[in-house]
Amino acid sequence: MTDRYCVFGHPVGHSKSPAIHADFADQVGDDIEYVATEAPLDDFAGAWRRFVAEGGRGANVTVPFKEQAFRLCDTLSERARRAGAVNTLILGDDGETRGDTTDGIGLVRDLERHGVALAGARILVLGAGGAVRGVLEPLLAQGPASLRVANRTAAKAEALAVDFRDLGAIVGGGFEAVEGPYDLVINGTSASLAGDLPPLPDDLFTPRATAHDMMYGAEPTVFLHWAAERGAQTVDGLGMLVEQAAESFFQWRGRRPDTAPVLERLRQAL
């Protein structure tokens, strides 16, 4: 019998998740069906219940439903609880809905694939929204020397740092308080979508620093262009997308696919 999975979003037609998970299933020889499902804005919980009633075993969740997914879960992983959002729903054999967030571990694994050492690193994370909140626990688990969250509204970054300070050396503040250099700078703002750049000092990077943008496209983002001009290694968010999907697949199927060929195919298609 074919196991059924989906990605919920609104809109969701642009999602690469069906192609990614089809590749994963082919790799490991699993018989699954994975589709994109546009859930109604006012009834995400109902969409999940209907999917389960029709044989669904798990789902990915994208905007704007990650917080609603969090609230409907019977149990949560620690990283999902910390994030306050869920991007992976798992139907247990007992019928309970378990929630996880795989964005942060996807980011960490992609950085590791690029040879970025996180233990002992000085890390700067730009932004204080849900995307940033979802990656802080896995980043701090790697033991960086320090992690600063910078945001246009300083109070949001400061509050975020308070929420995670029991996990490691983390502080928050406004962009004006940022003083380099950093070994890793992660752009989790939405500025790239508008072609904008957060206000940053020119001496932001150490000589062997990496700049990561959670966004991706056929061409480097404005932030990555800016970082490359200042000598940083640049990494976009496509690898993070594939790696977080692989972690979701592992949660559902108990098998970890090889992400490299899937990432290469996606890159060529951009």
Which value, to the nearest 10 degrees, does the dihedral of the CA atoms of residues 138, 241, 235, 23 take?
Answer: 120
Per the annotation, binding residues for shikimate are 15-17, 62, 87, 103, 216, 244
Indicate if 19 belongs to the active site: no
Number of neighbours of residue 30 by Cβ within 10 angstroms: 17
**Catalytic residue of the set 66, 98, 122, 148:** 66
Per the annotation, binding residues for NADP(+) are 78, 127-131, 151-156, 214, 237
Of 135, 187, 122, residue with least CA distance to 164: 135
Of 79, 26, 73, 33, residue with least CA distance to 57: 33
Per the annotation, binding residues are 15-17, 62, 78, 87, 103, 127-131, 151-156, 214, 216, 237, 244
Listed as own residue / partner, the contacts of 147-150 with beta carbons closer than 8 Å and 24 or more positions apart are 147/123, 147/171, 148/123, 148/124, 148/172, 148/173, 148/178, 148/182, 149/125, 149/173, 150/124, 150/125, 150/126, 150/174, 150/175, 150/177, 150/178, 150/198
Catalytic residues: 66
